[in-house]
Amino acid sequence: MPALTREEALTRAHLLDVRQYAIDLDLTRGEDVFGSTTTIRFTTREAGDTFVEVRPHTLHRAVLDGHDLDTAALADGRLPLTGLTAGDHELRVEADMAYSRTGEGMHRFTDPADGRTYLYTMCFQTEAPRVFAAFDQPDLKAPFTVTVTAPEEWTVLGNGTARRTGDRPGRWECATTPPLSTYFVAVAAGPWHSVRTRHAGIPFGLHVRQSLAPHLDADAAELLDITRACFDRYHRIFDEPYPFDSYDQAFVPEFNAGAMENPGLVTFRDEYIHRSAVTGTQRQTRAVTIAHEMAHMWFGDLVTLRWWDDIWLNESFAEYMGYQVVADATPFTGAWTEFAIGRKAWGYDADQRPSTHPVAPEPEAVPDTDTALLNFDGISYAKGASALRQLVHWLGEKAFLAGVNDHFARHRFGNATLADFVDSLTRASGRDVHAWAGRWLRTTGVDTLTPGVTADEDARRWHLEIAHRGNRPHRVTVGPYDLAGDGSGALTPRAPLEVDLAADEDRHPLTADGPRPDLVLLNDRDLTYAKVRLDERSRRTVRHHLSALPDPLTRATAWNALRDMVRDGELPPAAYLDTARDHLPRETDNAVVSGVLGFARGELADRYLAPGRRTAALETLARTARALLANATTGEQDDEGGTRLTAVRTLVDSTTDPTELRTWWETATLPGGQPLDHELRWRLLHRLTALGAAGPDDIDAALDADPSATGTEGAARCRAALPDPEAKEAAWRDVFDEADTLSAYRLTATLQGFWHPEQRDLLRDYVPRYFAQAPALAARRGEAVAQALVRHGFPWPFTDTATLAAGERCLAAPDLTAALRRGLTDALDDLARALRVREAH
């Protein structure tokens, strides 16, 4: 199906006013297809031609104003509508649609735990025509009435409250919605287990497949508390009440995204219903996702972007509000620490690759939907949220929220642009927000702030000169810290300094009273988006006293400075590992522990260090994990956030002695007394298989003990990890075989298990095969599989010039899909960066 171009969308929006959709779905036609009948009532402003999108398995009939259309005219998912006269029209399209196994369109899943089947839609961006005929662009909003025929024992959920009609078994009707964009239409059907309540006069519901029922029941109180707290907070800060008739949250299987903001029926990946022990940081991440999707009910659903160049209006806003509302209204008051140490790196990394783009590109830079889809990345989410956080710091929260409410009032149930939003902020604040937006949202790259610190000889004053490389204005907090004079190593903060850096100011001098601080930390509290450096004395202080910083967000900022210095070749990876070894055992915030260990294990040990230094790095990480466990066990460290579990996971992933791992497996006993639950059993078995200390019989026994969907994926991951030529070839065939029988989740699990640095000799011949076969697979199976092929399938253990050259030859091919081309561009740039870090140290 060709991508919809911006020009085509503009032309169609000028021609059409869509007044109503009636969609009738029949989910009783077997395992392969479902019935879809769509009636669209629309008005043309003048005579002209257009098209409707529909991607059927079989197109049975299309009727325009009572006249049959030639169904053979359907081509590439577009059915022409020619010779339209000005005035009212009705189009009826009858089709069978194919179920999806890749999480797009109408996804069908049969639970291996009990054989029950569940369906749900994912209509995001361009996938609605897999479910119903549509004028599929965001600015052609209309009310939707959806009716569904399903097996009698099923429950149906939709954007509007769904009720059985009573006219025949299995028949449901969803209440007609307010005007929505086509990509928000949602249906979920199956024998759901549901927990329902009401709040503020609105029905709330939580829904999972039956095999997860006990886990939802255990989590329901927390999930509903978070939902109510976020709902109430939004009603305090937004003038517009919640704009839909119900609020259902369905946790669905094999979901590609974290969640999707369908009005009235938010869908989440069901990994958010925890089967095993999780950390407080993971629970916080779930809360942020709930708040993020709820923010979309206003920013995205009530007011929708006009074209896909403005996805930041949806995602950056929801990302910012998700963290802020969770910090303000829930027990997770430290949410911004996790954003700083975990989420923000996603934006920094994306913004330094060749594929970077502005948070808000010019409309011409997003010429079609294929291009737009690539921009749902760390820039549109993490960088955009960081920009909004800096904007709020500059404007003040009161002026910012006044502008937001003005925006909602002016564009209620309509569409808007960046200019519309900035106009509202300018009216509310009296500031030149357009100039700010030009610098922050229309430019690319990360600014760098470097301190130069000196002091007078009499130690009565100290001087700071901030070198500013970049082109954005910043309001920055500078944190001065002094070491305690008693030799305890404690760091005491002085009063912070607020500094305004002009956009074109490359150096900013500042003088303050008192002796020179032992540590000068730029961007303390992490209120702007910029890489920061440390002067030499501050670097020494951080190296020896980082864990003594009194606030976890400050510690996260310091860790980020070290991370960026490693990535830019200014700090040896070994120095970062040594700092982690010395300070993480005393860290009390699990988000910081998890973020630092994740970077050290996933990037430093496996990529930035040469293969000959990897074992020593893993041993350092294992010692660090053991020290964390010792402190958590003796009570010297607050473990409410789950640091013990984070340490155990790192220990499993980093231990190189298969005998020790095998002992944990056979005794079902982990260090620190952590129970060996489902998640840890599969994690441990994966490590054992990769090291050759477990085999097919172990995998079969584990699957017998856990025959769930997660267990099935775990078994696929472990089988692919076996260091056996036949097992590797079988896994490769499963992924690349043209029968394409694997779901996107099973394919991802197989790829996750395939590549291991310990197996380089066994895997070497698969590197050229990857670059030869990935393009065809991505072309056959679409966006979700293309992303998995790069994110999990790229031959990352081979960080060498030969792999880089092979990847560049593949990238030069003219027929790569847009998703694969973007993913390979990023992966090869990351590989080249790793090689530069190795060369520097």
Which residues lie below 8 Å from residue 482, measured CB to CB, with a gap of 6+?
491, 492, 494, 517, 518
Phi-psi label, residue 166: left if phi above 0, alpha if psi -120 to 50, beta otherwise: left
Q: Which residues contact 72 (CB under 8 A, 6 or more apart)?
A: none
State how far the alpha carbon of 698 is from the alpha carbons of 31, 658, 713, 720, in Å.
33, 14, 15, 14
Alpha helices in 518-642 (DSSP H): 536-545, 552-567, 573-583, 590-599, 611-634
- Radius of gyration, CA atoms only, the chain: 27
Question: Which amino acid would we find at residue 350?
Answer: A
Residue 197's Cα: distance from chain center in Å?
Answer: 29
For the chain, the first-to-last Cα distance in angstroms comes to: 48
Burial label, 71 (beta-carbon count in 10 A; 0-12, 13-18, 19+): middle
Amino acid at 599: F
The catalytic position among 127, 254, 261, 293 is 293
Question: Angle at Cα 12 formed by Cα 19 and Cα 60, nearest 5°?
Answer: 70
> Could you tell me how far CA 335 lies from the centroid of its own chain?
16
Residues linked to residue 87 through DSSP beta bridges, in sequence order: 44
Count, residues in the chain = 841
Residues 6+ apart with CB under 8 A from 54: 38, 74, 77, 79, 93, 95, 129, 132, 133, 134
> Cβ of 673: how many Cβ atoms within 10 Å?
11
| Residue 101 φ/ψ, nearest 5 degrees | -120, 10
Beta partners for residue 491, in sequence order: 483
Nearest to 749 by CA among 672, 685, 822: 685
Helix (H, G, I), strand (E, B) or coil at 32: coil
CA distance 12 to 46: 11
User: Would residue 293 show up in a list of annotated catalytic residues for this protein?
Assistant: yes
- Chain CA centroid to CA 57, Å: 31
Phi, psi of 208 (to 5 degrees): -140, 165
Q: How far is CA 346 from CA 341, 349, 378, 729, in A?
A: 10, 5, 5, 33
Q: Which of 749, 753, 651, 752 is nearest to 694 (CA)?
A: 753
Residues that are catalytic: 293
